[in-house]
Amino acid sequence: MGHLNASYQQAFWNVDMPDRVVNVASVPKRSPFRYPGGKTWLVPRVREWLRSQRRRPDLLIEPFAGGATVGLTAAFEELAEHVLLVELDAEVAAVWKTILQLDAEWLAERILAFDLTHDNVREELAKTDKGTPEVAFRTVLKNRTFHGGILAPGASLMKNGESGKGLRSRWYPATLAQRIRAIAKIRGRFTFQEGDGVQVIQDYSNIKDATFFIDPPYTAGTATGKRAGSRLYTHHRLDHEHLFSAMQHVKGDFLMTYDDAADVHELAERHAFQTRLVSMKNTHHAKMSELLIGRSLDWVS
Ligand SMILES: C[S@@+](CC[C@H](N)C(=O)[O-])C[C@H]1O[C@@H](n2cnc3c(N)ncnc32)[C@H](O)[C@@H]1O
């Protein structure tokens, strides 16, 4: 899983022509998280999508925020007036609350001051205080020192690091602090809500100007309940049928992204949504595909 994640994170964007491969290194990385299935590689497409709207959306909602790659891009690049991030996972939520509502500077300083050794990480992660900023710090620490950035139960601390570079292989305190401060500076453009993304979709479904970017937890075969779903996220189970019917009632535009799997095609077809397969190349030059789903995908070049 960690391997898959790494190849996603370092993916190269392949626009329709096979020899026009855009390096995702050209997409600014803004999230404090590294995220299994993070959507950095999709950013150029999301820009196309948001710019294709008749007018700039008043509100972009990311109901399954995770590392919020798309919400951050929209806010920084002013592709939407305001961004609403929603996340169910209490640990991930603590990070967004601390940065956007509580004390981003405390978190940045805490990261800069931490001496990253195996002992210090173990000692820190054994702490049980439940204050939101403390939980946020432990979450960032786990995300940077656990295999594949996986926060779900069962994830484990890296021993030799990724690419054999030791525990510090994904710990970039100065970069993390800079990203946190940059987000905090524009925090007026965000609202964060801890809770169920599908509920929020329903709450905003009558608002014409609310636009949704949907990247739900999904493992091939789980949309119709055939498989249990692997544990990339603590909250990895979702009723995809329920999500699709919620999307059918939404008045604003939306873009969903899923693995290219038969059960997802089936769901999209049944709800009369359009699908487009887009491809990317990872660093090993393996071609990977991702399924975009929307009411109308005419903007996809
Ligand atoms: C595929 S990840 C999103 C990754 C994100 N697009 C990125 O680029 O970092 C899905 C996220 O949805 C969260 N999640 C799962 N069930 C949820 C629910 N019912 N409501 C809100 N968030 C949920 C998971 O905790 C996870 O963080």
Report the nearest atom of ligand 1 relative to the CA of 39. Answer: 8
Note if the pTM is more than 0.75.
yes
Q: 18 falls in which pLDDT band (50, 70, 90)?
A: very low
pLDDT band per the 50, 70, 90 thresholds, residue 233: confident
Ligand 1 within 6 A of CB of 86: yes
Whether residue 125 has pLDDT greater than 50: yes
Centre of ligand 1 to C-alpha 173, Å, is 24
Residue among 235, 239, 240, 257 whose CB has most ligand 1 atoms within 8 A, to mutate: 235
- Tell whether ligand 1 has an atom less than 6 A from the beta carbon of residue 137: no
Q: What is the pLDDT of residue 170?
A: 87
d(CA 208, CA 243): 18
Ligand 1: which atom is nearest the Cα of residue 38? Answer: 8
- Could you give phi then psi for residue 8, rounded to 5 degrees? -65, -45
Nearest ligand 1 atom to the CA of 67 is 9
Mean pLDDT rounded to a whole number for the chain: 86
The residue nearest atom 27 of ligand 1, judged by CA position, is 66
66 C-beta closer than 6 A to ligand 1:
yes
pLDDT of 228 strictly over 50: no
Confidence of residue 230 (pLDDT cuts 50, 70, 90): low
* pLDDT, tens only, 236-258: 889 999 999 999 999 999 999 99
Average pLDDT of the segment spanning 207-227? 78
CA distances (Å), origin 241, targets 53, 205, 223, 233, 289: 27, 17, 7, 19, 22
Distance 200 CA to ligand 1 centre (A): 13
User: Is residue 36 over pLDDT 80?
Assistant: no
Instruction: Please tell me the predicted confidence (pLDDT) of residue 168.
Output: 84
CA of residue 128 to ligand 1 center, whole Å: 24
Q: How far is the CA of 90 from the centre of ligand 1 (A)?
A: 11
Question: Cα(91) to centroid of ligand 1, in Å?
Answer: 12
Amino acid letter, 238: L
Q: Does ligand 1 lie within 6 Å of residue 62's CB atom? A: no
* pLDDT tens per residue, range 54-86: 899 999 999 999 999 999 999 999 999 999 999
For the ranges 31-45, 185-199, 212-226, 237-251, which has the lowest average pLDDT?
Answer: 212-226
Q: Tell me if 290 CB under 6 Å of ligand 1.
A: no
Domains and CATH numbers, the chain: 2-102+186-294 (3.40.50.150)
Q: Which atom of ligand 1 is nearest to the CA of 235?
A: 15
